[in-house]
Chain A
Amino acid sequence: MSAPGLAEQIASDADEMEAPGRRDPFGTLRQRLIGSPLQSAVSFVGIAIVAVIVWHLLDWGVFNAVFFATEGPKSCEGATGACWAIIDARWRLIFFGLYPYELQWRSGLACIVLVAVGILSCVPRFWHASRLSALWLGGFATFYVLMRGGIFGLAPVSEEKWGGLSLTVFIFAAGVLVGMPMAIAGALLRRSRLPVIAGSFGLVIDCVRSLPLVTILFTAAVIVPFVLPEWLQGDKLYRVIFGFALFFSAYQAEIIRGGMQAIPPGQDEAARALGLGYWRRTFLITLPQAFRNALPPTISQFVITFKETSLVIIVGFFEIMASGNAAYGTGDWGFAYIEVYTFIALVYFVFVFSLSRYGAFLERTMRVGLH
Chain B
Amino acid sequence: MRKQMMAGAAALLVGGLTAMPAAEAANGDTLKAVKERGTLLCTGHNGSYLGFAEVDDEGKWHGFDIDLCRAFAMAIFGTEYEDHLKIVPIGWAQRFPSLQSGDIDVIIKATGWTYNRDTDLGVQFSRPYLLAPARVMTRKDLGAESIADLEGGTICVPAGTTIERYVVEYAAAKDLDIEFLPIEKTEETDAAYLSGRCDGYGQWDVVLATVRLKADDPDAHVILPDVMNVEPIAMGMRSGDDNFVDIANWLLNAFWMAEVNGITADNVDEMKADPPNPGVAKLLGVTPGIGSQLGLEDDWAYNVIKAFGNFNDIWERNVGMDSPYKLDRGINSTYKDGGLFYPLVLD
Contacts and interface: CB of A to CB of B under 8 A. Distances in A.
Contacts of A130: none
A209 interface: no
Interface of A: 89-90, 92-93, 96-101, 104, 158, 160, 163, 212, 214-215, 218-219, 221-223, 225-226, 236, 311, 313-318, 321-327, 329-332, 334-335, 337
A337 B56 CA distance: 16
Contact of A101 (B10, B58, B98): B58
B197 interface: no
Contacts of A89: 57
A89 B101 CA distance: 37
The 3 nearest A-B residue pairs measured at CB: A329-B48, A331-B324, A325-B47
B59 A223 contact: no
B59 A218 contact: no
Contacts of B5: 212, 214
B129 interface: no
Given A222-B98, A326-B54, A313 B59 contact: no
B220 to A, nearest CB: 15
Contacts of A160: 86-89
Contact of A215 (B9, B87, B97, B325): B9
Nearest to A222: B97
Nearest to A224: B101
A212 B9 contact: yes
Contact of B57 (A92, A99, A212): A92
Contacts of B98: 222, 316
A101 B59 contact: yes
Contacts of B60: 101
A257 B97 CA distance: 38
A42 to B, nearest CB: 33
A331 B57 contact: no
A314 B91 contact: yes
B102 A225 contact: yes
Contacts of B325: 331
B46 A313 contact: yes
B210 interface: yes
B17 A223 contact: yes
A99 B324 CA distance: 25
B217 to A, nearest CB: 12
A329 B55 contact: yes
Interface residues of B, number: 45
B50 A222 contact: no
A339 to B, nearest CB: 12
Nearest to B13: A218
A212 B3 CA distance: 12
Contact of A331 (B12, B47, B86, B323): B323
A269 B45 CA distance: 58
B59 A93 contact: yes
Most buried by A among B12, B51, B88, B91: B91
B187 interface: yes
A316 B46 contact: yes
A72 to B, nearest CB: 9
B214 interface: yes
Interface in B205-255: 210, 213-214
B50 A317 contact: no
A99 B50 contact: no
A334 B13 contact: no
25 contacts: A90-B57, A93-B57, A97-B59, A100-B59, A212-B9, A214-B10, A215-B13, A218-B10, A218-B94, A225-B102, A226-B17, A313-B46, A314-B46, A314-B94, A315-B91, A316-B91, A317-B89, A318-B46, A324-B47, A330-B54, A331-B323, A334-B50, A334-B210, A334-B213, A335-B214
Interface string B41-69: 00011111111001111111100000000
Nearest to A337: B187
A214 B57 CA distance: 30
A316 B214 contact: no
B47 A322 contact: yes
Given A90-B57, A101-B59, A222 B13 contact: yes
Given A214-B9, A222-B13, A226-B97, 10 more contacts: A93-B58, A98-B61, A215-B12, A222-B17, A313-B46, A314-B91, A322-B47, A330-B324, A334-B213, A335-B214
B90 interface: yes
B57 A314 contact: no
B46 A219 contact: no
Contacts of B13: 215, 218-219, 222-223
Contacts of B9: 212, 214-215, 218
Interface string B63-88: 00000000000000000000000111
B333 interface: no
